[in-house]
């Protein structure tokens, strides 16, 4: 089985590739894990120009010899290649999985909107750098390589689901790149935001015309919260319950996804 | 003429009210400028609870004796009262102007979406605290009280326009609160964001289904930019030209609106 790593957002250090590659070689010897050289390119904020990132993603997605695309890292930028990439995906692109999270939600969402391949919210190669990062990336590799359900978010319960970073979901809302999530459980997570911004993004989710008809909302990890001035004075649980009430859907509690070691796999749709 | 100041987002200091009131009394003696006591309320992040802010806005908007509603300040929160406020506005609300910017764009946008009254992107009472703040607030009062066009953004050119803080516009996109801006020149401004976030918000604007049909985009002041890591390496002009090209509308250059002393009046629609 061949998995190729690409970086549609920001670049990674070759050390990350070496570390993730070494772990995969030992734990998943049946995998041919290839880090595309584009992962190490740099152009301003990004892992190479928009054109390079788009061309790389397309060549890998359209390669019949590649079974899955694993995203190296998030960090902003995958939205900038959607217009070039999405119309040019061929039959081979529809037969593979795409795994990542955070900024990669732009691509996962756009793929799912067109029901191309199997988008999966899952730890990325760069997560090998976390404490117990081998366990984190093993969830992705285990799912992609062996269909190992131990790395799945534990409460998916056979219902269709989709997971997004809240800021990325917010940026997709109102655009044709947002998938139809009717009857899906929507799982959101956030990092490095003050609570008034989380609240503002939830306003958009709760009022989004495109999200009418979702089955409910679950909240992943919200961490590295930027201090609110003045103090926000409301728990995340209360905030979620309030916006879900406005939205007219059930708040279904917490989920184990997020920018953390405790980030589990959520295949879009039914796992 | 009676103008009442309310605070649908965050509270102001009574000193601001005294300063703005004193200036108005001298420069616009024909105005009865009333600061509603709600402006000084405090509940967590907000100028009183959602219920208080909604009730205050409704009572003032629906008061036939009030000619215009002037917003005290932005700072987050006006979105939280839309669901309560908008269905309960009566005939008197349709006969007055509403002036503010920043977070108040939620209310201005929602009012314009239903063509209720005359929403105006304009300096707020708290802008009296700026250097030459009297000149700043005079633009709002001059327009509201005397129809003085000297405070209008200088290049409106008789075309319909609307002005928004980019983050607020982004939060409205995909919701029914966003007005139909077909054939309008869309003016945006931003403050205190890193450029990758400005770029991400422009992605949403450029891809927004609801914004198809706008006449073009102008860029106001983008200030207090948070440092991008790594450096962004692209001018704002180039960024705007790029996204407007993607959107298929002309980039029409800079505009004098924003979180600054150099903030001019943009009545929604044709001035």
What is the rounded average pLDDT of the residues B194-199?
97
pLDDT digits (tens, 9 = 90+) for A34-90: 999 999 999 999 999 999 999 999 999 999 999 999 999 999 999 999 999 999 999
Q: What is residue B80's predicted lDDT score, i.e. its pLDDT?
A: 98
pLDDT digits (tens, 9 = 90+) for A6-38: 999 999 999 999 999 999 999 999 999 999 999
Tell me which chain B residues have a C-beta less than 8 angstroms from the C-beta of A201.
Answer: 171
CB contact under 8 A, A209 and B175: yes
Closest chain B residue to the Cα of A239, Cα to Cα: B80
Q: What is residue B48's predicted lDDT score, i.e. its pLDDT?
A: 98
Q: What is residue A141's predicted lDDT score, i.e. its pLDDT?
A: 98
Interface probe with A: pick from B164, B194, B207, most Cβ of A within 10 Å = B207
Q: What is residue B238's predicted lDDT score, i.e. its pLDDT?
A: 97
Q: What is residue A21's predicted lDDT score, i.e. its pLDDT?
A: 98
What is the rounded average pLDDT of the residues A160-188?
98
**Mean pLDDT value across chain B:** 97
What is the rounded average pLDDT of the residues A169-195?
98
CA-to-CA dists, residue B218 to A194, A240, B76, B223, B256, angstroms:
29, 36, 24, 15, 10
Q: What is residue B179's predicted lDDT score, i.e. its pLDDT?
A: 98
Q: How far is A243 from chain B (nearest CA, A)?
A: 10
Q: What is residue A100's predicted lDDT score, i.e. its pLDDT?
A: 98
> Which of A176, A196, A230 is the closest to B209 by Cβ?
A176
Binning chain A into helix, strand and coil, the percentages to the nearest 5 are 40, 20, 40
pLDDT digits (tens, 9 = 90+) for A100-146: 999 999 999 999 999 999 999 999 999 999 999 999 999 999 999 99
What is the rounded average pLDDT of the residues A179-184?
98
Cβ contacts of residue B50 below 8 Å, gap of 6+?
A: B77, B80, B81, B84
pLDDT digits (tens, 9 = 90+) for A62-73: 999 999 999 999
Query: Is residue B249 a contact partner of residue B214, using CB atoms and an 8 Å limit?
Result: yes
Euclidean distance between CA atoms B121 and B266, whole angstroms: 5
pLDDT digits (tens, 9 = 90+) for B197-232: 999 999 999 999 999 999 999 999 999 999 998 999
Q: What is residue A152's predicted lDDT score, i.e. its pLDDT?
A: 98
Could you give the percent of chain B with pLDDT greater than 90? 100
pLDDT digits (tens, 9 = 90+) for B137-185: 999 999 999 999 999 999 999 999 999 999 999 999 999 999 999 999 9
CB contact under 8 A, A45 and B233: yes
Tell me which chain B residues have a C-beta less than 8 angstroms from the C-beta of A173.
Answer: 173-175, 204
Euclidean distance between CA atoms A205 and A249, whole angstroms: 11
State the ipTM, two decimals.
0.97
Query: In chain B, what are the domain boundaries?
Result: 2-151, 161-267
> Which of B79, B209, B246 is the closest to A174 by Cβ?
B209
| Domain B2-151 coded CATH 3.40.50.10740 | yes
Q: What is residue B194's predicted lDDT score, i.e. its pLDDT?
A: 96
What is the rounded average pLDDT of the residues A194-222?
98
Euclidean distance between CA atoms A136 and A206, whole angstroms: 31
Going by pLDDT thresholds of 50, 70 and 90, the confidence category of residue B54 is very high
Query: Is residue A41 a contact partner of residue A5, using CB atoms and an 8 Å limit?
Result: no
Euclidean distance between CA atoms B265 and B271, whole angstroms: 9
Q: What is residue B156's predicted lDDT score, i.e. its pLDDT?
A: 97
Q: What is residue A246's predicted lDDT score, i.e. its pLDDT?
A: 96
Q: How far is B193 from chain A (nearest CA, A)?
A: 12
Q: What is residue B99's predicted lDDT score, i.e. its pLDDT?
A: 98
CA B222 and chain centroid, separation: 15
Tell me which chain A residues have a C-beta less than 8 angstroms from the C-beta of B80.
Answer: 199, 203
Q: What is residue B135's predicted lDDT score, i.e. its pLDDT?
A: 98
Q: What is residue A196's predicted lDDT score, i.e. its pLDDT?
A: 97
Euclidean distance between CA atoms A32 and A35, whole angstroms: 10
Q: How far is A30 from chain B (nearest CA, A)?
A: 37
Q: Which CATH superfamily is domain A161-267 in?
A: LD-carboxypeptidase A C-terminal domain-like (3.50.30.60)
Q: What is residue A167's predicted lDDT score, i.e. its pLDDT?
A: 98
Q: What is residue A14's predicted lDDT score, i.e. its pLDDT?
A: 98
Could you give the percent of chain A with pLDDT greater than 70? 100
Cβ contacts of residue B219 below 8 Å, gap of 6+?
A: B187, B188, B189, B236, B237, B240, B251, B253, B254, B255
CB contact under 8 A, B173 and A177: no
Going by pLDDT thresholds of 50, 70 and 90, the confidence category of residue A153 is very high
């Amino acid at each position: 089985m061949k998995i190729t790593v690409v970086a549609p957002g920001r670049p990674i250090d070759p050390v990350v590739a070496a570390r993730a590659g070494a772990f995969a070689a030992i734990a998943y010897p049946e995998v041919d894990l290839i880090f595309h050289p584009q992962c190490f390119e740099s152009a301003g904020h990004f892992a190479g120009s928009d054109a390079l990132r788009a061309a790389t993603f397309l060549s890998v997605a359209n390669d019949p010899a590649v079974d899955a695309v694993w995203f190296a890292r998030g960090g902003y930028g995958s939205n900038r290649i959607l217009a070039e990439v999405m119309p040019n995906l061929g039959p081979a692109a529809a037969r593979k999985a795409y795994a990542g999270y955070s900024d990669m939600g732009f691509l996962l969402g756009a793929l799912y909107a067109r029901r191309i391949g199997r988008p999966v919210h899952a730890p990325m190669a760069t997560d090998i750098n976390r404490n117990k990062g081998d366990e984190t990336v093993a969830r992705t590799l285990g799912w992609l390589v062996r269909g190992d359900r131990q790395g799945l978010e534990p409460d998916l319960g056979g219902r269709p689901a989709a997971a997004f970073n809240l800021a990325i979901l917010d940026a997709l809302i109102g655009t044709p790149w947002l998938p139809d999530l009717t009857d899906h459980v929507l799982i959101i997570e956030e990092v490095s935001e003050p609570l008034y911004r989380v609240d503002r993004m939830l306003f958009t989710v709760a009022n989004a015309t495109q999200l009418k008809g979702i089955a409910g909302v679950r909240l992943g990890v919200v961490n590295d919260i930027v201090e609110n001035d003045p103090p926000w004075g409301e728990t995340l649980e209360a905030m979620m319950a309030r916006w879900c009430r406005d939205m007219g859907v059930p708040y279904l509690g917490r989920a184990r996804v997020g920018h953390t070691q405790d980030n589990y796999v959520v295949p879009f749709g039914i796992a």
